[in-house]
Amino acid sequence: MPAMYLNIYEALREGIIAGGVRPGQTLSNRAIAAHLGVSTTPVRDALRRLAADGVLQTLPKSAFRVPVISAERYAQILELRVLLERFAADRAAQAIDRATLKRLTEINARYANASLSQDERLLANREFHFTIYRASLMDDLVSLIELLWVRIGPLLNFTTSSADQSVGLQHHKDLIAALRQKDGPAAARAVEADLRYAAKSIMTGLQREKDVASRQAS
């Protein structure tokens, strides 16, 4: 496969995982190509692959849409994430080294920066979590977690209030402390607390979107 196509595919996928798009948002092949300064062909191929992965929906005229996930489906994905990410955090606690702990502390300090934009904060959150999961030294586990994150990445836009950030920051600190002590069960509890707290805001956002759609339809 051409390197450009793969690079575009990975960049778009990473952006979706990090919450760089919103549910229901339309992605234009031409607009993305113009933004990246490339031809439409590799962008179209990358978007088609994301659609084949179930990440995007295909629309007429070479356009694609980010799916709108129901609250019921999100709840199912959440339970799968809790199972996998608890396990990854527990395993990471046994294998993590000082350099990775230092990096996590630095990422969390960046996450705490009040001047960050929404996109920058979401990227920092994604980097924090996957630095931990990769420390589990289980590549297949990380791939499974990524598969779920790419499904719910757009919903992370519902978790950017100041309250979410403050509580999320504390969860991150608890997680770092557990990893430093090599306490796997505590690390698993901290990551679950983080996921379930964020889920409350996501569920609220999904209900709000549903209410808006109902009013527009009536």
Domain boundaries, the chain: 3-65, 71-217
Q: 3-65 with 71-217: one CATH topology?
A: no
Are residues 138 and 87 in contact, defined by beta-carbon separation less than 8 angstroms? no
- The yes or no reply on domain 71-217 and CATH 1.20.120.530 is yes
Distance CA 41, CA 86 (A): 40
The Cα 209–Cα 82 span in angstroms is: 24
Q: What is the pLDDT of residue 115?
A: 83
| Whole-number pLDDT of residue 164 | 63
> Selecting from 1.20.1340.10, 1.10.10.10, 1.10.10.60, 3.40.50.300, what CATH number does the domain 3-65 have?
1.10.10.10
At 213 the pLDDT is: 64
Looking at residue 183, its pLDDT comes to 98
Which positions of the chain have pLDDT values less than 50?
Answer: none
